[in-house]
Amino acid sequence: MIIEREPSGLYEVRRRAVEALQHLGAIDDLVDCLRTLSSREALDPVEQTGDDAVVNALARALSGCESERVQSLLLDLASHRHLAGVIEALGAFHCRAALPNFIEALADDFTRPAAEAAIRKIGGAARPFLIHTVKRLVPPGEREYPSRTRQRLSALALLAEFANPRSFRAILKALMNDASPAVAALAREIASRLIG
């Protein structure tokens, strides 16, 4: 039932079947379902949406399972698809190896909240990744995509939460003249809070 696609895209029954297996403690079955669904893609976008919802449910169901094979499976899945449930589960594991995936997920409106929460759980170890993201420049003559700007804004806000104040001031100073007005404005706002 969990791995069988529904052409209409309705996935609630499949998601509830995941919950039932979770309550039964059927970890191996959940892992098998996740492995099967993560290794295939639907040609129909409606069916793919249903699969993604079920994969999210499976990942969330496995997030409390302290297993290296579960973490490895989720990490592999996150390396080629950004799904909120997968990011939440990796965040629950405090998986530092997933930091590049979390950073990429900041660019997507659907996965940004999960990625921000996962990065917060990892804390200061995320600092170099956030600095790199905030400082990454658009090549001359090109325009920054809105999703990229939102990614940088999110990274900057997260960086403000656990950056070293002394080194962070230099980053803020450089960003106050950023080509993106939104990034420059946020840098000024954070700087005013630090000074004040």
Q: What is the pLDDT of residue 56?
A: 96
| pTM given for the model | 0.89
pLDDT greater than 70 at residue 81: yes
Would you say 119 and 130 are in contact if contact means Cβ atoms under 8 Å apart? Answer: yes
Residue 180 C-alpha from the chain's centroid: 23
Q: What is the pLDDT of residues 10-25, one digit of tens each?
A: 899 999 999 999 999 9
Task: Tell me the two tokens of residue 117.
Answer: 């929460």
Q: Mean pLDDT of all residues in the chain?
A: 90
Taking only the tens place, the pLDDT of each residue in 98-140 is 999 999 999 999 999 999 999 999 998 999 999 999 988 776 6
pLDDT at residue 195 greater than cutoff 70? no
Confidence of residue 67 (pLDDT cuts 50, 70, 90): confident
CA–CA gap between residue 171 and residue 167 (Å, rounded): 7
Residue 196 has pLDDT above 70, yes or no: no
**Distance of CA 146 to CAs 108, 109, 149, Å?**
10, 11, 5
**Percent of the chain clearing pLDDT 70 (strictly above):** 97
Distance of alpha carbon 31 from alpha carbon 100, whole angstroms: 24
